[in-house]
Amino acid sequence: MPDESVRVRSGLIRVITGPMFSGKTTELIRELERFRFAKKSVAAFKPSIDTRYTQDAISSHSGLGLKSIAIEPNGEGLRSVRNFLANNPSHAVGFDEINFLPTEFVELAEDLASSGITILATGLNLDFRGEPFVTTKELMVRADSVIMLTAICVRCGRRATRTQRILNGVPAPYDSPVLLIGGKEAYEARCRACHEVPGAK
């Protein structure tokens, strides 16, 4: 019996969220590969701001990768998604790191889902301060399903739901900029109790 995520005909929006290192990208790659095995056409996009590994692939922290198209994190980038999909009809479309995309992405995702496409979107729910990323938040409340993943807290080993930013070896202050691209040198997964934001109001 085929899995529901493959069998489903009408479109839907599935959001995969959680802190850094929780396996969001791994899950996105896994889901998109399942569509491929079911002989469904698949496309994947990621904001060009996320240059940690490469521009033309979605990459996980564990080394998995999937070919993707880099888009500018602005209205022009969203228009390029619409154009691409108009010319390349796809059953399932993945978006990695939607926290970097403007809130107009929500409207695009809803339009695509209404046209029958399955949207799989990963994004951080919270920034390093523990405050919401608006695009992820707005898509989560409209999604057909939300998968909330956890990492492992590097301090205590419990489930991590927060992303800790580290600057010069210590927790970054509240007033450091929200966007700072980085991996293990700049971020850690931590639980609520171990998450530190010096200077938080």
Residues that bind ligand ADP (CB under 6 A): 18, 20-26, 60-62, 151-152, 154, 189
Strands 118-123 and 57-59: unpaired
Q: Shortest distance, CB of residue 141 to Mg ion, whole angstroms?
A: 21
Per annotation, catalytic residue among 97, 131, 138, 196 = 97
Segment near Mg ion (CB under 5 A), from 2-10, 21-29, 111-119, 138-146?
21-29
Amino acid type, 131: E
Does the annotation mark 196 as catalytic? no
Edge-to-edge strands of the sheet including 118-123?
69-71, 42-47, 92-95, 118-123, 12-17, 145-148
Q: Among residues 130, 129, 81, which one has the least CA distance to residue 101?
A: 81
Q: Shortest distance, CB of residue 199 to ligand ADP, whole angstroms?
A: 24
Cβ proximity of 73 and 101 under 8 Å: yes
Binding pattern for the stretch 43-82 against Mg ion, x by CB under 5 A and - elsewhere:
----------------------------------------
Collapse the DSSP code of 162 into the 3-class scheme (helix H, G, I; strand E, B; otherwise coil) and give the result. Answer: strand
Q: Which does 156 bind (CB under 5 to 8 A by kind): Zn ion, Mg ion, ligand ADP, none?
A: Zn ion
Cβ proximity of 109 and 13 under 8 Å: yes
Among 34, 40, 61, 155, indicate the residue that binds Zn ion (CB under 5 A): 155
Is 163 among the residues that bind Mg ion (CB under 5 A)?
A: no
Q: Among residues 63, 21, 51, which one has the least CA distance to residue 188?
A: 21
Segment near Mg ion (CB under 5 A), from 18-26, 66-74, 135-143, 176-184?
18-26
Among 29, 106, 153, 189, indicate the residue that binds Zn ion (CB under 5 A): 153
Letter string b/e over residues 67-84, b meaning 16 or more CB atoms within 10 A of that residue's CB: ebbbbebeeebbeebeee
Among 17, 22, 25, 118, indicate the residue that binds Mg ion (CB under 5 A): 25
Give me the active site residues, please: 97
Residues that bind Mg ion (CB under 5 A): 24-25
